[in-house]
Amino acid sequence: MGQSEYFFQNGSLYSTGGRLNPWTWTWEPGRPPVSAPPVPPLTALEKIQAAGGARRLPVGVIGPREATQDQLYAAEAVGERLGRLGLTMICGGKTGVMQAAAKGCHESGGLTVGLVPDHDWRLANPFIALPIATGLSEARNMIIAKSCEVLIAVGGSYGTLSEIAYGLHFSKPVIGLLDAPHVDGLEPADSIDDAIEKMAGHLLARIEPSQ
């Protein structure tokens, strides 16, 4: 993750890279006001969402169809937090962790995208606002991993393992919760709050200028 400090004042976010343009998610020339207090990455995302005008960055939530109750609860809570942050949640569009995460995100006002493996978009779960029928079966797992800035894995299955591997292969941060498959490079989270805080840090770090 990046080591920059973030500052927010008068509706704008600043870092060592400059002033954030929340539509292009790039740093433009600018210095934080002397009186601007530092804020952690999660607070920075919350303030960007509250200020309005930000493009919705995509975050993936992946996990098994056959999930435990704890995993379903966590997935719904993760989806809700992503929705409240104004982020786009991308998933496989089916049942289990995917449906729970979509429910949480959709009901909190977030945008849910489901890349379903079928040829018919109507086979997406009812909480997917933008269903995309890929017709690619499990091969759509690669598209999910490629299209997200950060991935959060809740639990695991062989399909989840493939998404984690694709994410790491594409140099995407992958955060794991509740028995997500252990893979070198996956970053375990101790709780839902920890996963969201890690996600926020990675999301902002990924737009840091090269040092």
- Mean pLDDT across 162-184: 95
Say if residue 127's pLDDT is above 70.
yes
Q: What integer is the mean pLDDT of 128-155? A: 96
> If pLDDT is split at 50, 70 and 90, which confidence band does 211 have?
very low
Whether the pLDDT of residue 185 is over 60: the answer is yes
Residues 6+ apart with CB under 8 A from 174: 150, 151, 152, 153, 164, 167, 168, 183, 185, 186, 187
pLDDT score at 31: 86
Range in 31-35, 81-85, 135-139, 147-151 with the lowest mean pLDDT: 31-35
Q: Burial code of 65-80, b = ≥16 C-beta within 10 A, e = fewer? A: eebeeebbbbbbbbbb
Q: Which fold has domain 58-204?
A: Rossmann fold (3.40.50)
Q: In the predicted model, what is the mean pLDDT of residues 155-183? A: 94
Q: How would residue 97 be classed by pLDDT, with cut points 50, 70 and 90?
A: very high
- Between 1 and 54, the higher pLDDT residue: 54
Q: Name residue 91's beta-bridge partners.
A: 114
Domain ranges of the chain: 6-55, 58-204
Q: What pLDDT score does 3 carry? A: 56
Is residue 88 within 8 A of residue 111, CB to CB? The reply is yes
| Burial classification of residue 199, based on how many CB atoms lie within 10 Å of its CB (0-12 exposed, 13-18 middle, 19 or more buried) | buried
Task: Identify the pLDDT of residue 210.
Answer: 43
**What pTM did the predictor assign?**
0.93
In which band, very low, low, confident or very high, does the pLDDT at 161 lie, cut at 50, 70 and 90?
A: very high
pLDDT tens for 66-95 read 999 999 999 999 999 999 999 999 999 999
10 or 147, higher pLDDT: 147
Give the gyration radius of the chain's Cα atoms.
17
27 contacts 41 by C-beta, under 8 angstroms: no
Mean pLDDT, range 63-67, rounded to an integer: 95
